[in-house]
Amino acid sequence: MNDTKNILQDLHGRAHAYLRISLIERCNLRCTYCMPAEGVKLSPKTHLMTYEEIYNIAKTFVDHGVTKIRLTGGEPLIRKDIPIILEKLATLPVELSITSNAVIIDKFIDILQTHGVQKINVSLDSLDASKFKHITRRHEFKKVYANILLLVAKGFTVKVNVVLIKGFNDNEIIDFINFTKDLPITVRFIEFMPFDGNKWDMRKTVSYADVLTHVNAAFPKENVIRLKDAPNDTSKNYTIAGYKGTFAIISSVTNPFCDSCNRLRLTANGQLKNCLFSATEADLLTTLREGKSITPIIQKAVQAKFKVRGGMDTLKKLQEPKLHSNNRSMITIGG
């Protein structure tokens, strides 16, 4: 193994300062692009990280340079011990944030604020209640919509994640952009990605270029402003002149941003994924439970990271079911 001092530096020169932790494999929604209708095989409860284990693993990453932690799931807020997880992680010197479907987030406003969680990403794939029901298989549109407004009113920085699916919600791209007219939010259009069991088909993916075609047809060219992207940003950012909010496109399928990737992912059952698309995982939890150091395992996993999309470096490879299904369902990765 390469004897680098920074165990979070990979062989392609990327330093990893951002850890996404999935807290739970279950969810109170059933988004079709995220999980199969029949559900996923859940880990036995004893195989899931306890809050102490989450803290211990997170601390090791922070000791080696992680400065940002995002909690995800499944739905992170349905985990019963979420208050204590937030309390413990808030003691680490990191920016702590969360990705949620926002169905029950109104009950957590105080606790999120107490523990310094400022940035919240919320999934909302349609502004139409019946389409929301179709994609999530649950009737929760009103709550999610009201909770987005509540989060904004409470001063959180809110990004709304929209997974675009051709023929389903691409006719709402402009409605979503107009949602940012009076609301200081960022709407992020995400290209539909292939994962195990989500019936992905390239023909269903609405590309970055497709989004811009819709935008350019709806707004005068001079009103569409390209914003500067932050370092390590996964999205291409835009605003419409005079709008309070912004919009962005996450193009993992047609324009991967792997060169500047600084992310690592920890699954709820304690496996380190060096890439969203990786077929392999490193078992940190078993090692931790054996009382051994997880540091060498982290280093080995980081050094094994492929340059592009878990080795699926061409669109042709990404489209091969044998390759992209050699992964988990998204619900057990966390986005």
DSSP single-letter state for residue 206 = P
**How near is the Cβ of 151 to ligand SAM at its closest, in Å?**
13
**What is the H or E stretch that residue 224 is in?**
strand 224-226
Beta strands at 235-240 and 246-250: parallel, antiparallel or unpaired = antiparallel
The binder of 193, among ligand SAM, ligand SF4, none, by C-beta within 5 to 8 A per type, is ligand SAM
Q: How far apart are the first and last CA of the chain?
A: 29
Query: How far is Cα 2 from Cα 177, in angstroms, rounded to an integer?
Result: 47
29 binds ligand SF4 (CB under 6 A): yes
The binder of 35, among ligand SF4, ligand SAM, none, by C-beta within 5 to 8 A per type, is ligand SF4
Closest CA to 93 of 118, 120, 67: 67
**How near is the Cβ of 103 to ligand SAM at its closest, in Å?**
9
The binder of 30, among ligand SAM, ligand SF4, none, by C-beta within 5 to 8 A per type, is ligand SF4
194 binds ligand SF4 (CB under 6 A): no
- Taking the least distance from each CB to ligand SF4, the nearer of 77 and 89 is 77
Contact residues for ligand SAM, defined by CB under 6 A? 27, 33-34, 72-73, 75, 99-101, 123, 161, 163, 190, 192-193, 195, 198, 330-331, 334-335
- Taking the least distance from each CB to ligand SAM, the nearer of 30 and 59 is 30
- Taking the least distance from each CB to ligand SF4, the nearer of 31 and 253 is 31
**How near is the Cβ of 221 to ligand SAM at its closest, in Å?**
29
Query: How far is Cα 163 from Cα 205, in angstroms, rounded to an integer?
Result: 9
Closest CA to 196 of 329, 102, 86: 329
Residue 260 identity:
S
**How near is the Cβ of 92 to ligand SAM at its closest, in Å?**
21
The binder of 161, among ligand SAM, ligand SF4, none, by C-beta within 5 to 8 A per type, is ligand SAM
∠ CA 56-61-62, rounded to 5° = 95
- Taking the least distance from each CB to ligand SF4, the nearer of 162 and 331 is 331
Of the candidate spans 71-79, 214-222, 275-283, 291-299, the one that interacts with ligand SF4 by CB under 6 A turns out to be 71-79
75 binds ligand SF4 (CB under 6 A): yes
Give residue for tokens 């809110």. 158
- β partners of residue 205: 165
Evaluate whether 298 touches 166 at the Cβ level (below 8 Å): no
27 binds ligand SF4 (CB under 6 A): yes
* 87-126 residues near ligand SF4, rule: CB under 6 A: 101, 123
Q: Which residue is nearest to ligand SAM (CB)?
A: 335
How many Cβ atoms are within 10 Å of 3's Cβ, its own excluded? 5
- β partners of residue 71: 21, 98
**For the packed helices 51-63 and 82-89, what is the interaxial angle rounded to 10 degrees?**
20
The binder of 141, among ligand SF4, ligand SAM, none, by C-beta within 5 to 8 A per type, is none
Alpha helices in the chain (DSSP H): 51-63, 82-89, 109-114, 129-136, 141-153, 173-179, 208-218, 284-289, 295-303, 315-318, 321-324
Quote the distance between the C-alpha of residue 98 and its chain's center. Answer: 9
**How near is the Cβ of 287 to ligand SF4 at its closest, in Å?**
27
- Taking the least distance from each CB to ligand SAM, the nearer of 176 and 192 is 192
Residue from 19, 23, 31, 248 touching ligand SF4 (CB under 6 A): that is 31
Q: Which stretches of the chain bind ligand SF4, using CB under 6 A?
A: 27, 29-31, 34-35, 73-75, 101, 123, 331
